[in-house]
């Protein structure tokens, strides 16, 4: 019997770690809903976002390191989607990064990766065309570019299944 309790505890821990904390404005909105549903004066609800959690929204585009950086540093007008502005107005005004990935950010991230991939292909070709380039220099240049690109992909993106082939995003 002790084994099943341990398994349930691990399963519950895993379940709770996948829940996403909600923001302050969302906590206030949900608190108002709770107060209307449970209008008992003895129950005290707080606006602290850390106390509330929700399921991850599967309709949102997946995010990764590159998209997170773009969301953080690009202007809010292109980083926020209209629905994210409606849901997180206080965070939008405060200048926090959005939760959703806007189509502009997604397209820009795709373009940057395509540009990086093209550069990693063209630069070795240009080096090989230089005068006085030996086979060793060409081979080292091509190998270095391939390794750099292969190393950059997992750092910039979460490699989930087939997502690097374009079907996951």
* pLDDT tens figures, 38-90: 766 666 666 555 566 766 666 666 677 888 889 889 998 888 888 888 888 88
Find the length of the chain: 169
**pLDDT category of residue 153 using cuts at 50, 70 and 90:** confident
Q: Tell me what pLDDT residue 159 has.
A: 47
The reported pTM is 0.60
> How many of the other CB atoms lie within 10 Å of CB of 35?
13
Give the C-alpha distances (Å, rounded to integers) separating 99 from 17, 27, 139, 166.
18, 15, 43, 21
Token pair 């007008």 is found at 77
pLDDT digits (tens, 9 = 90+) for 98-126: 878 888 888 898 898 888 888 888 888 88
């Amino acid at each position: 019997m002790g084994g099943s309790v341990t398994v349930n505890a691990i399963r519950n821990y895993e379940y709770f770690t996948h829940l996403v904390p909600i923001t302050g404005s969302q906590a206030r909105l949900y608190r108002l809903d709770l107060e209307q549903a449970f209008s008992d004066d003895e129950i005290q609800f707080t606006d602290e976002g850390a106390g509330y959690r929700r399921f991850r929204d599967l309709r949102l585009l997946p995010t990764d390191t590159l998209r997170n950086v773009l969301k953080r540093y690009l202007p809010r007008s292109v980083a926020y989607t209209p629905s994210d502005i409606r849901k997180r107005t206080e965070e939008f005004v405060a200048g926090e990064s959005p939760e959703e990935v806007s189509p502009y950010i997604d397209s820009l991230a795709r373009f940057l990766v395509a540009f990086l991939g093209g550069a990693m292909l063209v630069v070795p070709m240009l080096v090989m065309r230089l005068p006085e380039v030996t086979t060793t220099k060409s081979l080292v240049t091509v190998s270095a570019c391939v390794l750099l690109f292969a190393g950059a992909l997992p750092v910039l993106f979460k490699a989930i299944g087939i997502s690097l082939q374009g079907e996951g995003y």
